[in-house]
Amino acid sequence: MQDIQILWEKVLEKMELLVTVVSFDLWIKTIEVLDLKDDKTLVLVATSSFAKNQLVKNHSNQIAECIEQVFGSEIDFEIIDKAEKEEYLKLHKVNNNEIEIKTENPFNEKYTFDNFVVGKSNQFVYAAARSVAETPGEKFNPLFIYGGVGLGKTHILNAIGNFVRQHHPEKKIMYVTCESFTNDYIESLGVSKEKEKATSRFREKYRNLDILMVDDIQFISNKTSTQEEFFHTFNELYQKNKQIILSSDRPPKEISTLEDRLRSRFASGLIQDIQAPDFETKIAILKKKVSQEKYNIDEEVLTFIAERVNTNIREMEGLLSKVYFYATLLGKKCATLDDAKNVFKDEQVTQKEQISPEKIISTVCSYYGTSEAELTGKKRSKEIVEPRMIAIYLINELLDLPLITTGKLFGGRDHTTIIHARDKIYEQLKTNNKIRTIVSEIKNQISSNC
């Protein structure tokens, strides 16, 4: 049995690669999976009758293709709108939990080793991942991969999965997010009379694997019971020489409230980081995207984008797609530098409208694992001063608020204090690689949530 919502997320991943960024954000991402009618028809809910018409008219074939790849050829679909949803619920008993199907390959087929652009920033991760995929359980166990948002962790994990599916089809492999693992564990606790059976099913699911990949393992932080269960799952797989692959946005030593025994095990294998790509690698990534999507784009557009997007590869590729889409809307056969400048200008305006001081403060707090009350309060310990100064710097850089207004956000601090914090981070960015990485990763998290 497989969770329908998780499978639908895989459909969305495939759809994102087939349609423009604008179409995906407007029409595809907002679809709700309501029902699996008669165990053979997915009932999808569009946000409005207009959205329904757009989906039926422009994206039916793509949706059908992606559903077949994930759910199998026997599953059909139909689209209703919000107004029709209430009537449907009156007439049908819905099933939106699980489905028993066999999927040929749960991994995104476009994410392979062959189309992963290797540069100085990721060559060691690539080599380690390739080695693990070729001989799972024999080298580098566990393999712990960390890096900022949008640098290629998901691509690497899917590449491992696709390689194993092709070359070791007999291997049982599972990719799961930390959130899904946690939810599965909570569900396994169940009601008392079913608890033993549910726990047994959970352990059978996760401990009888040849390869377990857990994405965003940093979210296991603060989950004491889940850490306990994952510790035993990890041990059982490790003792059987089964491959464990973990990804995170930070190394084990920086995951707060992680039990020492788990931290020790995470660090017992090979730890590799994916760094921000250099200029040459960014250009190579953009050229690969142009080739894959068959975009007609002037070479200088690639340089323009590579110079302006510092780290996030996903954001960089998204901006490339937007430039091409913008040019096609104007009836052009080739996207030019002027098109890129117009899109980039609009992108900056849109992001600035969506970013608020509260969002910046919240993101910094989440990154450092501290509370907003501490960040904006009077506390002056070393653990609080750095994130506070970074939050002040980002508010000044991204929003350009008056100094007095910024001071009020931080407990009524004087404008000279705000200037000092802003300028100190500005100077550190020139020489301190750690601060540069932290600021870059927080900015990526802010922009990805807009």
pLDDT at 208 over 80: yes
Residues 34 and 64 in one domain: yes
Q: For residue 270, what pLDDT is reported?
A: 95
Residue 349 lies in a domain: no
Residue 21 pLDDT > 80, yes or no?
no
How many residues in total does the chain contain? Answer: 450
Q: How many domains does the chain fold into?
A: 4
Residues 86 and 17 in one domain: yes
Co-location of 428 and 333 in the same domain:
no
Query: Residues 94-149: pLDDT tens digits?
Result: 765 555 444 445 788 888 999 899 998 899 999 999 999 999 999 899 999 998 87
Owning domain of residue 262: 123-274
pLDDT beyond 70 at 353: no
Residue 105 placed within a domain:
no
Tens digit of pLDDT for each residue in 361-409?
A: 999 998 888 899 999 998 888 789 999 999 999 998 887 677 888 899 9
pLDDT at 243 over 90: yes
Q: Is residue 128 domain-shared with residue 267, that is, in the same domain?
A: yes
Q: Is the pLDDT of residue 447 over 50?
A: yes
Same domain flag for 259 and 131 = yes
Same domain, 145 and 247: yes
Going by the DSSP 8-state scheme, the letter that residue 276 receives in this structure is P
Q: Give exposure, 200-236, as e/b (b: 16+ Cβ within 10 Å).
A: ebbbeebbebbbbbbbbbbbbbebeebbebbeebbee
Q: Do the domain assignments include residue 350? A: no
Q: Once rounded to an integer, what is the mean pLDDT over residues 166-193?
A: 82
pTM score, whole prediction: 0.58
Q: What is the mean pLDDT of the chain?
A: 86
CATH code of 432's domain: 1.10.1750.10
Report helix, strand or coil for 431.
helix
What are the tens digits of pLDDT across the range 400-427? 677 888 899 998 898 888 989 998 998 8
Residue 28 vs residue 447, higher pLDDT:
28
CATH number of the domain bearing residue 83 = 3.30.300.180
CA–CA dist 290, 286 (Å, integer): 6
